[in-house]
Structure formats: C-alpha cells, structure tokens
Amino acid sequence: MIVLDKKEQDYLLDTIRSVHDFPKPGIIFRDITTLLNNKEAFKFLIDHLQKRYESYGLDHIVGIESRGFIFGAALAARLNIGFVPIRKPKKLPYITISQKYTLEYGVDEVQMHIDAFCGKKEAKVLLIDDLIATGGTAKASVELIKQANANCVEACFIINLKELKGESEIAKLTKIYSVLEV
C-alpha cells in the first residue's frame, strides 16, 4: 500500500491552517483552503492519491458535499474515471436515493442520483472527503453506495481527527485510508 512517510505528512500538515475556537469555543478547525491554494502541496497530494489508487481498477470516485468534491473530482480526472457527488437533500435535480443518519441532536440525510454509477452493477467505488470526525456522514455515504449496488472498496480522508474515533464505525463497512492523522 502506498502511504506517505512522516516527512511527507508533516509537509502537508504544515500547509493546513488551524483556526482555534471556530465555529465555537473549544473547537480547532482544520482549514484546508491553505492547502488548496498552495499549488505545490495540492499537486503533491493529488499525485500521491493517484499513485495509491491507480491500480485499484476503480469505476468511480464518490465525493461527499462539499469539500470531498474538490479532492474527488481532481482525482477522478487524474484516473480518467467518473465522479459522483453525494449531497444534502434537495440539491440534486434528478431521481435520488437517500440514506439518513443520526446527529447529536437530530437526523440528517445524504442523497445520490439513482443512476450515479451508469447502471453498472457492483461498480468499484472510492469514497473521499476532506476530513473524518464523528463519521456519521461518511458511514451514511458508504451505506448509500451499497444501496446503489456498488462496492465501496475504500473510504479516503485527507485528515482523520483521531480523538473523535469516527473511523471505527466506517471500518466495519469498508477499508479506510487517512492521508493525515491529527
């Protein structure tokens, strides 16, 4: 498996801004916009992901709204495969399938077009997002991919917030790769 060494991880981590007390006191927000606007770092990251996934025989990359779109679309273009967005309700214009998930105080939902994988049964899919925290959205996204008769071969996150343990539930459903762990 292709992974980054400590020096390469530190390089990428140094390009991500930490914003304290955002969006509320006690939270440290990991701002990836500083990685995205650093052309060398962004290229380095996408090059790494391309090397890791080019031998997987993927049919599609699925990105979670909205920052997963950035990494997913760039990687899909590099791998010359399709990109599929997973979105919040009422954002997609065609017939959708949905998956609900629980939040600390309520329920939310993700959706995908019913024909997202072009009718291919058991399409090999990579799920990608910028960050995994508690894992609710990612878990619902993996379940949504399965609902569409596709095979989520791995879930990739640029950053894993380890103390929140979100990866534990997703690991029951698919393999996980986190480029960086904080």
Is 30 considered catalytic here? no
Q: Looking at this protein, which amino acid is placed at residue 129? A: D
Q: Exposure of 129 by Cβ count < 10 A (0-12 exposed, 13-18 middle, 19+ buried)? A: buried
Count Cβ neighbours within 10 Å for each residue of 30-39 and write b for 16 or more, e otherwise: bebeebbebe
**What does the alpha-carbon distance between residue 101 and residue 21 come to, in Å, rounded to a whole number?**
26
Pairing verdict, β 28-31 and 106-113: unpaired
Catalytic residue among 67, 78, 143, 169: 67
- Token look-up 């390469």 returns 8
Query: Which tokens in the block code for residue 108?
Result: 């939310």
**What does the alpha-carbon distance between residue 38 and residue 48 come to, in Å, rounded to a whole number?**
15
- Cβ(98)–Cβ(52) below 8 Å: no
Is 67 considered catalytic here? yes
Catalytic residue positions?
67, 104
